[in-house]
Amino acid sequence: MLDLLERIDADSNDIGVLVALFDTLRPKRATDGARAAANVRTLCQLLKGNPAQAIALRNHIRNLLASRRHASLYTEIGVLSNDGFFSELKTRIAYRILPPALGNEYLSDALDQIVYKRTDHLWMAAVPAADWLALIDVVAHAEQRADARAEAAQGGNLMLPGLLDAIRTLSYRVCAIGLEPRLTNFHTEMETYESPFMVQNYEVNSYLDAYHRKLAGQETDLDDTRHLLVMLEQCDAVIAKIRKKALSQGTSIALTYLLVSLTQSLDRMRKLLFLVDVHAPGEAHDQARRAAAIALALELIAAHNNKYMVRDLLSDNINLLARNVTENASHTGEHYVADTRRELGAMFVSSAGAGLVIGFMALFKILMSYLRAAPLVEAFLFSMNYSLGFVFIHLLHFTVATKQPAMTASRIASGLHSKDGRNIDIDSMAELCAKVIRTQNMAVLGNLAVCIPTAWLIAMAWPYMTGHHLVSPDKAMHLLHDIDPIHAPTLIYAAIAGVCLFVAGLISGYYDNKALYTRWAQRIAQLRGLRWLLGQERLDRLGRYLEGNLGGLMGNFYFGILLGIMPFLGFVLGIPLDIRHVTFSSANFATAIVGLDHNVSWELVVTSVAGFLSIGTVNLLVSFGLALWVALRSRQVRFQHGWQLTKALGRRFRTGPIAFLFGSSDDHQPIEKA
């Protein structure tokens, strides 16, 4: 460290020595904050004991700062560009593989050369701010040269012009984004009233013009930044309104990207305005400003280290989009939570109808397998059987039990949300979870109570229509082996089906969001050809139906494709990949029993029944767990009361197991929707 200090050339702006000096501060492990702090204190003591070297380092840093442009460091690092989400994603992926060329014109490039390790922000943040301030004071208060004193006397500040230019640039950027058609068309009030995004730009320009006149020595009144902060708060209020509106009217990746970029730009403007404000004299303000400068420097370094991280871009944008997707799923999920025995009965009837349809879907799948078609053709046939069957079930307003978890998980997550994570009513939440559980049980019972008899009756009637069993004994044993939870990877395949259910839930929420955001009902009502064919009234009803049910239709359609294509993917990739769904497994069980002429041992029957019940359990748990995880992440909820909630559910089960699973006669008051 001492050798490097002696090699510093005060009149040079070569960054090489500064990079080597910074390397001496970097600990071997990024998490070793104690070693990093000790290194910073050592450098500080060396500079105190060698004033000449402190002066040389100070002048070297001044030459470096004077030769580079500063504004881009504050306007680009940690703030999303205007390129759009997918362009930014492509750029980050490309630069992760081959970083951009570095030059000698911008201060951000110097930062890239000095803090080149992706973990530098960790140990730098671990060093106490007081140690960094002490090091800065030693360098900044070193004896100045005559020309440096002259610059100071003239009010020269190497950092100030860059800060002011950055504020102006960010203000123009906020104004431009605020006038984007995606925002103004979505929030039309900005066209009716004066846009705060435009007003803030006018006020910021007036403030900066006065600031530059004051720096030039002219007599001028320079207002403080409080009125500018008020304008920025008005911009924040508009952003909050747009986000709230998006929860009910949908959003898009482009709109979400604009909102994130706006929020980041406004936040950076506030921090820069605090640093340049001169209307709060006093030691307390100076100390606060010094601390804010260190905090901003550490923030810039952390953002710089992660500027090509794809994960951060996804985290900033996808969480907001996922919130809207899961919010739509949450609204749908309210229909899957039965509050009363009457509603439980309705759920049973709805599920029974789905069981009837699935019994015939299982028949069609077996018949399709007899075609011995090519793998791709067979995958297409299976997919269409699943997809069209599930869509038909949706059109008839029936319910498939395993489709519920992705919706009810979002409903529960919305109930878990609280600002501080401590004010959640555990008893109310336990009651909601209990109602979700008993609704799930009733739906599964409804599916199985009709699906199994339907498949059994079809298999029994088949010999009378064709002269032979629907399945041969070998085929029947194969069907039973497929649902064996012990001697086959049945539960793994059930987990894969659970993942497909979860993905279908996301797809459903995505299309619900898309239908709202793009105003499907209004667009369909404007189709002249359909208006001539159906009439305006029927066309309006069709538009409203598709806007309200697009998510359900597309979720069911894609769920069928996922189920049908999975075995084909396993065949192509050469890996054991398949799915097991509880309703189809139960239908296959009934078909296989008939194919064996009911000559089966009780052990095989027990194993098979346990198999499809286990398949259903895994289907539900995997899809529900994944959906709940995404819903919590999208709402940024950290629920830490899992054990208390589990105990509350356990008490309810012990008090009345029958009522817990199937409801009680006094369940007539619905709980308040969170």
| Cα 503-623-561 angle, rounded to 5 deg | 40
Q: How confident is the model at residue 78 (pLDDT cuts 50, 70, 90)?
A: confident
- Inter-residue contact 411 to 330 (CB < 8 Å): yes
Share of the chain above pLDDT 70, in %: 84
Please provide residue 106's backbone torsions phi and psi, each rounded to the nearest 5 degrees: -115, 145
Question: What is the pTM (predicted TM-score) of this model?
Answer: 0.70
Could you tell me the CA-to-CA distances from 461 to 27, 455, 464 in Å, in that order? 78, 10, 5
Nearest to 137 by CA among 18, 331, 286, 9: 286
Burial class (CB in 10 A: 0-12, 13-18, 19+), 196: buried
pLDDT at residue 408, rounded to an integer: 61
520-574, pLDDT tens digit by residue?
Answer: 888 888 888 888 888 888 989 988 888 888 888 998 999 999 999 999 999 999 8
What local confidence, expressed as pLDDT, does residue 152 receive? 42
H/E segment holding residue 410? helix 405-416
Q: Which of 247-256, 403-412, 534-543 has the highest mean pLDDT?
A: 534-543
pLDDT at 665 over 70: no
- What would the pLDDT profile of 88-124 be if each residue is shown by its tens digit? 788 888 887 888 888 788 888 888 888 888 888 888 9
Residue 343 and residue 566 in contact, taking contact as beta carbons nearer than 8 Å: no
Distance, in Å, from the CA atom of 56 to the CA atom of 245, rounded to the nearest integer, reads 57
Task: Identify residue 593 by its one-letter amino acid code.
Answer: I
For residue range 271-298, list pLDDT tens digits in order: 999 888 877 666 777 788 888 889 999 9
Q: Is residue 617 classed exposed, middle or buried when 0-12, 13-18 and 19+ CB atoms within 10 A define those classes?
A: middle
Neighbours of 380 (CB within 10 A): 17
Instruction: Please tell me whether residue 69 adopts helix, strand or coil conformation.
Output: strand
Token pair 């990949």: residue: 577
How many Å apart are CA 161 and CA 215, to the nearest integer?
A: 10
Using the predicted structure, report yes or no on whether residue 673 has a pLDDT greater than 50: no
Indicate the range of 43-52, 315-324, 391-400 predicted with least confidence: 315-324
Q: What's the pLDDT at 158?
A: 80
Q: What is the pLDDT of residue 84?
A: 72
CA angle, 335 then 337 then 339, to 5°: 115
How far does CA 57 lie from the centroid of its chain?
Answer: 45
Q: In this predicted structure, which of 222-236, 307-321, 565-579 has the lowest mean pLDDT?
A: 307-321
Q: Is 355 a residue whose pLDDT tops 50? A: yes
DSSP 176-218: HHHT-HHHHHHSTHHHHS--HHHHHHHHHHHHHHHHHHHHTT-
CA 514 to chain centre: 17
On the question of pLDDT at 424 being above 70, the answer is no
Terminal alpha carbon distance of the chain:
61
Radius of gyration of the chain measured on its C-alpha atoms: 33
Q: At what angle do helices 375-395 and 536-573 cross, to 10 degrees?
A: 150
Q: 106 forms bridges with which residues in the sheet?
A: 69
CA 82 to chain centre: 21
